[in-house]
Amino acid sequence: MKNPLIVFLLLALFATNATAQSGKKKHLKWETIEEVEKSIRKNPKLVLIDVYTDWCGWCKKMDKTTFSDPEIVKYIKKKFYPVKFNAESKRDIQFKGHTFKYIPNGNRGVNELAVALLNKRLSYPSVVYLDQELDIITVVPGYWKPEEYLNILKFFGEGLYKQKGINIEDYLKNPDKYLKN
């Protein structure tokens, strides 16, 4: 390879590929609930469902800050199946043997799945946590900064939610007391 142009092009190609590969690690690959329902049979993990709407400013902020934080992304990939679900989705959704439909209401409406997941308390953003059987553990509403949210993820990811006598409110006051890192 005596031609400097060829060497330069090859180096540029490798650098672009390396950048693209490292970029993949920084973002979550959001799945649909239907995809997770199939995947969880082969590889059981907890499920995290980000319930949002297109008009929700706090939802967008959580995407930009919290769900793009490298430490959050790494932890979610390790412990959860991440699902992003638009509460106003107009498509029919098949989940756990049920068909959830869109319910129109004036200019806006809601998908029945959002109503079911949020127990009729439609607040955005809300994150719904499901166990490996796809049963709801709990719903955590609101915007959370990355440093706060990592503790919430660990409450579920480390199985603390299963331990008798530990509730999320007490845990969040002093997470180090409960984590064995």
Rounded Cα distance between 56 and 123, Å, is 10
Rounded Cα distance between 55 and 48, Å, is 21
C-alpha closest to that of 156 among 146, 147, 145, 167: 167
pLDDT of res. 74: 96
Instruction: Spell out the domain ranges in the chain.
Output: 28-144
Most confident of the ranges 22-26, 125-129, 159-163, 171-175? 125-129
CATH code, residues 28-144: 3.40.30.10
Q: How confident is the model at residue 175 (pLDDT cuts 50, 70, 90)?
A: confident
pTM, two decimals, is 0.82
For the chain, the distance separating the N- and C-terminal CA atoms, rounded to the nearest angstrom, is: 51
State pLDDT tens for residues 3-48: 655 544 444 444 444 444 444 456 899 999 999 999 999 999 999 9
State pLDDT tens for residues 121-132: 999 999 999 999
SS3 of residue 103 by DSSP: strand
pLDDT of res. 2: 57
